Chains A and B, each alone.
Chain A
Amino acid sequence: MADLEIRGLTKIFPGGMRALDGLDLQIKDGEFFALLGPSGCGKTTLLRSIAGLETPNSGQILIGGRDVTRLPPAARDVAMVFQDYALYPHMTVADNIAYPLKVRRVGRKERRETAESVGRSLQIQGAMLDRRPGQLSGGQQQRVALARAIAYRPHVFLFDEPLSNLDARLRLEARTFLKQLQRELGVTTVYVTHDQAEALALADRMAVMDQGRIRQLDTPSNCFLRPANTFVAAFIGSTPMNLLPATVQDGKFEVAGQKVMIPETIRAQVSAGDTVILGVRPEYVSVSPTELPDSLTGTVRVLENLGVDSLVTIVVGDLRVQATVPEERVPAVGDRIWLAPDQRRLLAYRQDDGEQVGAPTVAQSDAPARVPSAE
């Protein structure tokens, strides 16, 4: 069990591509920490650097207070579960699980016992222990990979998109299973994924990354409710957040020629004439067939059924605004309706850098003093 600290980590690949750009990060002991971001953002590179499979150009990695930056993977006491599970095809399940012990030259009897006990806790038992990985289903293989990591008894678990090879239904079950398992084991876990729903569901805290930098480091709840910038706002959430350009005029936001109230928390941060981008999730936009004060109005263009709710796309001026509406109040295409954003959930972002206006700056992980690159 150990905490994890990253200081000023930079990794530049040959060709000049900056995969990691002066990252700072602290993960608490026992925490389930997610690294979320699109392809190429550096999350896997960061994970591999923690494992020791990549050497950073500058910066430090500390596990449990110990500087492991120059240590080989074997000396770091971390276990990694790969996307393809990396189960050795010629070994039985039991041998696979016990392999970390074999490396440590543990005796055969003890290896078998450990494989059985660890396997039992993950429902891998009986005849399954003597099968080959190729004979198992995807879900079973995944559990074997987990068992192998657990048998190693590391200080940190590293997961590289371990659920992405499972089909959708299985993925949800495995997700719950994984969350519970981590709670029980209490081992610090770093989890890489590109699926924002997965990160929100699993993590205690998460870092949203883009192009080698951390754009927001916060609890899932905060990332969802108060994204620190437009990048995070657009990336998180199953339904895309509405991002609407607006200007401050006469004490109100003017959006597409219409006026909306400015929330109390933001009022002090903006002055007349400022241009901002307003952000509000479709879930926090109320819809009414009759006129509402300080609201936007427009015509319904598209209806999408989401199951419990429907996603309604409304044309407001030359903008499109989306709102989710419960099934009993779904309007018809062509109706004129009024939209009122929830004042507590309305956010404003600066137009130049996409950062949030108003709310106190959420924890940003690129420290102001960036470590100069070694190249």
Chain B
Amino acid sequence: MSPRAAEPTSPPRGASTPPEASAAALPTRGAVAFLTPALLLIGVFLVFPALWTLYLGITDYRLTGIQAAYPQVIGLDNFTSALGDPAFANSLWVTVLYVLGSAVIGQMGLGFALAWTFRRWHGPARSALEVLVITAWIIPSSVVAFLWIAFLDTHNGTLNVALGNANIPWLFSWPLLSIIVFNTWRGTAFSMLLFGGALNTVPPSYLETARLAGASSWQQLRDIVLPSIRGHILTNLLLISLWTFNDFSPYLITAGGPNFATDTLPIYIFRNALVNFQLGYGAAISAILLLINLGIALIYLRLLRARS
């Protein structure tokens, strides 16, 4: 934007103000007052706890006992014991699988497939399916959790009944797979909506040109559409990865079991910090989780900058 005062020759509506913020737009005093409530709220209840996590991770804080009154800084002991703890390693691994399976493959894949299918399909059937997918997202997670407990029940669950009374103990034999499918079901709507919007930004003429040149649907998709919406793909990937990493809802179905097979990091933290009350240790894991999230975000930013 140039700093020239915009004086139009054929004046469009209201195009007379220079682009830099004039003091008349909002005096600084007013702006600060307007920002304060939000900054206070966010600062105290969002930023501060995040930073405090890092501090707590290096203490031996507990809720009871002497460590509650006099928490000592114990350096990186929490971190080293965490990294050496096989339970932590298990939890980390479970979480990675959970994210890869339900977010990257499940939600993104299915969401994109739906958005792509919806491109040129309109009518009541499509609307009905769309509503179904979105409803799955809107229903509160505690209810969804139970719906899936019921659905996957060994003796009476709808899935087993539909498979001819197969009596397959899904939640006990394949718990991780079960929660992966559960989370895919729950979250696909977001990706579907986001990709739907993204596909709308691809000019139809691009695809027309390709089709006239003989490209198949698959080739159009691979060569034109995917590169065009790369930014959207990355953003979506980032958001749902972060959300899934921090997702607590598997707890509602399996509580981490059976035998820690679905013990994702949030559940692991919860159990250590708020059930066993090892707050310092729990904070350390949280800090690691935060750092992993930061890492993902940084990778995403780098990839995003690489495209522009």
Contact = CB atoms under 8 A, between A and B. Distances in A.
Are A and B in direct contact (Cβ within 8 Å)?
yes
Interface of A: 13-17, 19, 38-45, 48, 52-55, 72-73, 82-84, 86, 160-161, 164-165, 194
A82 B22 contact: no
Interface in B1-22: 2-5, 7-9, 11, 13-18, 20, 22
A41 B7 CA distance: 8
A322 to B, nearest CB: 23
A73 B11 contact: no
Contact of A42 (B5, B8, B24): B5
B147 to A, nearest CB: 43
Nearest to B2: A15
A14 B8 contact: no
A83 B22 contact: no
Contacts of A41: 7
Contacts of B66: none
B3 A13 contact: yes
B275 interface: no
Contacts of B23: 55
Contacts of A40: 4-5, 7
Q: Categorize the interface residue count of chain B.
A: 10 to 19
A45 B5 contact: yes
A14 B9 contact: no
A115 to B, nearest CB: 24
B5 A44 contact: yes
11 contacts: A13-B20, A16-B3, A38-B9, A39-B7, A44-B5, A45-B5, A55-B22, A82-B14, A83-B13, A84-B13, A165-B13
Most chain A C-beta atoms within 10 Å of own C-beta, residue among B13, B15, B24, B27 = B24
Most chain B C-beta atoms within 10 Å of own C-beta, residue among A41, A44, A164, A165 = A44
Contact of A14 (B3, B13, B16, B17): B3
B3 A84 contact: no
B9 A84 contact: no
A245 B238 CA distance: 70
Contacts of A19: 5
Given A40-B7, A194-B7, A84 B2 contact: no
A160 B16 contact: yes
